[in-house]
Amino acid sequence: MPVANTILQLFPAERRGFWKRTAACEKDIQEIRLRAYRPVVIHMGGRELFLDSNGLFLDSPLHAYSATPQELEGLLKHICHYSLYAFEDELRQGFITVSGGHRVGVAGQAVLEDDGRLRSIKNISYINIRISHQVMGAADGVISYMYGEKGLKSALIVSPPGCGKTTLLRDLIRQISDGGAWGRGMTVGVVDERSELAGSFCGVPQNDLGMRTDVLDACPKRLGMLLLLRSMSPQVIAIDELGSSEELEQLFRAASCGCKILATVHGDCLRDVERRFGVGREKWNQLFDVGFLLGRRDGRCMMRELIRMGESDA
């Protein structure tokens, strides 16, 4: 299904005429932001655009179209198949992954349980649609660094937000899973806690992660890694956005079972990551063979540095 279609399908029939023009520019759109009584903002090709009342692009927010709370409510109902209760857990997390792998983030008024836990979000007045773009071949430049004499290496992708670490990891998974001139295809287990890698919708991956990939969707990484190890015996475990010491511990456990590890982590450099986790370089070197530090230059995502880590067989 063309992406323009999946973007247009997010909207109810009566609003499709308005969104047609925006959906036609699917390749360049990164985000569509709707806020109650505020101008609709489109992030496209590094620029911020607005829409007029006919859905045509404007450069300035003056005379721009503003979304109404009713429109946001209708949009959310439509996205949730008129069954918001079925997406309660996702809404509690603040986002829903929809057909096409796009992510719909929501914000509004929090409803808390007696013990202070978040029960749900009501009066949803902010919707952020992040358009999923699988970049086939995003890992072409790094795949050669992934293989050594002993085969596949474990890799850590370090990057600040918005520099393409998830895109790179997604394509690495696909290429490692499918195999090719660089190596034989391998069984990859993906714990996709935020449904960003596979973009699963109703359990079906919307992105191509390769033919030998098993995805555990919407499962906390800490639990998911153990579950995948037991159930799917993967040769490679992949996770996005390593965030806690517990997850790091589970990665060590997976590595001790003979799995290769692919992981991404937020950070400006490896030292920044070491500091945040309170774990020294030596430990990281035990787990990973190679690291990729990503960044941006002239608005484009790129690899800033190749970090030699464990590399026992390099």
Partner 1 sequence: MLRGVGGVMIFAGCLGLGMWYRGQLLGRVRALRQLKTILELLAGEVRYGRATLPESCRNVAARLEPPFAGALRSIDSVMKENTGESFAGVFRDRMREPLAALPLKEEDREAFLQFASESGYMDGQMQLRAIERSEELMAGTVEKLERENTEKCRMAVGLGAMGGLLLILVLW
Q: Which residues bind partner 1 (CB under 8 A)?
A: 9, 11-16, 77-78, 80-86, 88, 91, 99, 120, 122
Distance CA 134, CA 167 (A): 7
Query: Measured from the CB of residue 54, what is the shortest distance to partner 1 in angstroms?
Result: 18
The residue type of 35 is R
Query: Measured from the CB of residue 202, what is the shortest distance to partner 1 in angstroms?
Result: 8
**DSSP conformation class of 183:** B
The smaller minimum CB distance to partner 1, of residues 52 and 88, is found at 88
Query: Measured from the CB of residue 22, what is the shortest distance to partner 1 in angstroms?
Result: 15
Query: Measured from the CB of residue 14, what is the shortest distance to partner 1 in angstroms?
Result: 7
Query: Measured from the CB of residue 18, what is the shortest distance to partner 1 in angstroms?
Result: 12
The smaller minimum CB distance to partner 1, of residues 9 and 30, is found at 9
The full 3-state SS of 125-180, as one line of letters, equals EEEEEECCCCCCCCCCCCHHHHEECCEECCEEEEECCCCCHHHHHHHHHHHHHHCE
Distance CA 133, CA 208 (A): 11
**DSSP conformation class of 211:** T
Would you tell me how many other CB atoms lie within 10 Å of the CB of residue 186?
Answer: 19
The smaller minimum CB distance to partner 1, of residues 78 and 296, is found at 78
The smaller minimum CB distance to partner 1, of residues 11 and 65, is found at 11
Query: Measured from the CB of residue 110, what is the shortest distance to partner 1 in angstroms?
Result: 13
3-state SS, residue 314: coil
Structure tokens at 132: 């999923």
The smaller minimum CB distance to partner 1, of residues 37 and 82, is found at 82
CB 294 within 8 A of CB 303: yes
Structure tokens at 193: 């806690």
Distance CA 289, CA 263 (A): 12
Query: Measured from the CB of residue 219, what is the shortest distance to partner 1 in angstroms?
Result: 17
The smaller minimum CB distance to partner 1, of residues 84 and 269, is found at 84
Structure tokens at 83: 């069954």
The smaller minimum CB distance to partner 1, of residues 20 and 283, is found at 20
